[in-house]
Amino acid sequence: MDTRQLIEACLKGKEAAQKQLYDAYAKQMLGVCYRYTKSVEDAEDVLQEGFIRVFRSLHQYKGEGELGAWIRRIMVNAALNFLKKHQAYRDELIIKEEYMHPVSDANPVITLEAKEIIQMVRQLPAGYQAIFNLYAIEGYSHVEIGKILGINESTSRSQYMRARNLLISWIEQFPKESKKMNYV
């Protein structure tokens, strides 16, 4: 069954087609959700909410662009809504002065595995993490991020730079002789 047929079957409420669509994208989208949350359980909650939105909005998919990219955008929005809705994340989304770090253009040349870098990104405060993911990974502009998070474009830019520089400082401190890093 091609994508168009799968979508049409989902729109008709056929459970087998819905399961096929879910199975085709769930693993990849769980990774997207996990980048914005601090636990697998929260990521799974976001994934479920995201797929509810996917099935409710599937009639709006116009077939322009890849279906996976369309689903990904819904998952990112679901993750951001989750962050705003849950107190533990909402408190961290507020940009606080104590999180401010000097901005620099340092660019360390250290080889790390992608898994290690992802773990470092997950250690950022929620606000930094969300902005870093939206800009560096998802490709949103700072104008778009500002609108999504209800902040100024300049705040998005400065928070991205601070997140980036915090990551750089962690990378610089990363033990070169040992690839293991303990994350709390």
The set of residues, in sequence order, having a beta carbon less than 8 Å from that of 73 and lying 6+ positions away, is none
pTM of the model: 0.70
The one-letter amino acid at 177: E
From the number of C-beta atoms within 10 Å of its C-beta (0-12, 13-18, 19+), residue 83 rates as buried
At the topology level, CATH places domain 3-85 in: Rna Polymerase Sigma Factor; Chain: A (1.10.1740)
Q: How confident is the model at residue 112 (pLDDT cuts 50, 70, 90)?
A: low
Spell out the domain ranges in the chain.
3-85, 93-173
The secondary structure of residue 12, as a DSSP letter, is T
Model confidence at 75: pLDDT above 70: yes
Tens of pLDDT along 2-11? 899 999 999 9
Model confidence at 178: pLDDT above 50: no
How high is the pLDDT of residue 111?
Answer: 52
Model confidence at 135: pLDDT above 50: yes
- CA–CA separation, 174 vs 89, rounded Å? 27
Q: How confident is the model at residue 109 (pLDDT cuts 50, 70, 90)?
A: very low
- Specify whether the CB–CB gap between 67 and 3 falls below 8 A: yes
* Architecture of the domain spanning 93-173: Orthogonal Bundle (1.10)
- Specify whether the CB–CB gap between 116 and 181 falls below 8 A: yes
Model confidence at 94: pLDDT above 70: no
Q: How confident is the model at residue 120 (pLDDT cuts 50, 70, 90)?
A: confident
- CA–CA separation, 105 vs 66, rounded Å? 35
